[in-house]
Structure 1
Amino acid sequence: MSDHYFTARPSATSAPRQVRLALRDVQVGLTTDAGVFSPTAVDAGTLVLLESVPPPPATGDLLDLGCGYGPITITLARRAPGATVWGVDVNERARELARVNAANAGCDGVRIEAPDDVPDDVRFAAIWSNPPIKVGKATLHGMLQRWLPRLAPGGVAHLVVQRHLGADSLQRWLESEGFPTERLASRKGYRILAVRTEDTT
């Protein structure tokens, strides 16, 4: 696999820069770098997600799956300061940026980890994600099969996916895997999918 933002150790020469996350309730500067996802601006899909989903639970463990340099993590932490927010990414450079950005934003209760470093017993009250569609279906499906079952009872995962990159087929696949899924919103070519674990009660 060539060097992409989903590479564990990007080989791209470091080129730090500043971007701005500008939401109604969150205004913060973020440091980005080469070798991470959307280094020149906060991704449009991420903005659609953050502008469209309901507020996160006020307490509990919350997950930003594929956190990159941290815009979703920081928004979760700002909107739910009483929660523990886990930012998870395979990319070491992205994780370090997310740590720095969360600290600079004054976000307490944030933990940035590699996937294997999240304790197995943690269950999430909510998952927010702009998942890495370009890793390929097999890897993407494996990632979702790993993390979606870790939703706590009553928890919801909100995913943003470009329509032309397979949002509708992903929704069908999630349904076939036993994850009840609804389209919460459709804006600017993106779908927001709300996913729940199968009710086994």
Structure 2
Amino acid sequence: MTADHYFSPHPGSPSPPRAVEFNVAGRDYTLDSAGGVFSADRLDPGTAVLLRKADLPDAGTAGALLDLGCGFGPITCVLTTHAPTATVWAVDVNERARRLTTDNAARVGAADRVRVVEPDDVPDGLTFAQLWSNPPIRIGKDELHALLRRWLPRLAPDGVGWLVVARHLGGDSLHRWLTEQGWQVHRHASQKGYRVLRVTR
């Protein structure tokens, strides 16, 4: 038996390859996945709601975008295809997830515009025009709050953060907590039990 989680840095469970197919904004994607990463068998329902309901970047979006907790890279691949002049930083503690995201960025023709790194390898001082995340709620409330305290301040002054959280896993309480921390938080959409939060300074 294995105690691997999708937030394990070095998953040791078997990782037979599999393909995940999905459609966002009229474009079909087929990405590589494997066991030991977040939602290995399909596009996670929360991520699907986020990509369907949040305001995707457009061709004029430039600068650096952050995919926080990239998994096998579905958000990264969508962002980079919609914003062809932006650089997407895909961050994950899971080495298998990082490898898959690197491969999938190449699959969509964006290897030169995607930086796949561990959290500590993001350059100090780099700020992001957008932050996208289906945050890892199951790491625990304290760890989740620490994660957001670390990364939300990396938004540029006019930057926008997009988060999706299941209501039954604390989406509304996270909304309140972010507001208490001084962020402007708008519930942009609700669908299938998920909250899509737009976060700005």
TM-score where L is the length of structure 2:
0.95
Question: Per-residue CA shift, 1:135-174, capped at 9, x if unaligned?
Answer: 1011111110000000001111000000100000001111
1: distance between equivalents of 2:166 and 2:178?
Answer: 16
| Contact kept in structure 1, 2:24 and 2:78, CA below 8 Å | no
| Contact kept in structure 2, 1:21 and 1:71, CA below 8 Å | no
Tell me which of 164, 186, 197 is aligned to 1:182: 186
- State the match for 1:44 in structure 2: 45
Q: C-alpha displacement at 1:126, in angstroms?
A: 0.4
2: distance between equivalents of 1:190 and 1:89?
Answer: 22
Q: Which runs of 5+ in 2 are unaligned?
A: none
Instruction: Quote the sequence identity (%).
Output: 55
5 Å-filtered alignment, 1:133-172, equals 133-172=137-176
Task: Give aligned pairs, total.
Answer: 197
Question: Per-residue CA shift, 1:53-98, capped at 9, x if unaligned?
Answer: 1132610100000000000000000110100101000000000000
Counterpart AA for 2:24:
L
Q: C-alpha displacement at 1:23, in angstroms?
A: 1.6
Q: C-alpha displacement at 1:16, in angstroms?
A: 1.2
What do you get for the CA RMSD once the two structures are aligned? 1.3
Q: Secondary structure at the match of 2:8?
A: coil
Runs of 4+ in 1 over 2 A off after TM superposition: none
| Contact kept in structure 2, 1:26 and 1:78, CA below 8 Å | no
Q: Which runs of 5+ in 1 are unaligned?
A: none
1: distance between equivalents of 2:26 and 2:92?
Answer: 25
TM-score where L is the length of structure 1:
0.95
Q: Secondary structure at the match of 1:47?
A: helix
- State the match for 2:30 in structure 1: 29
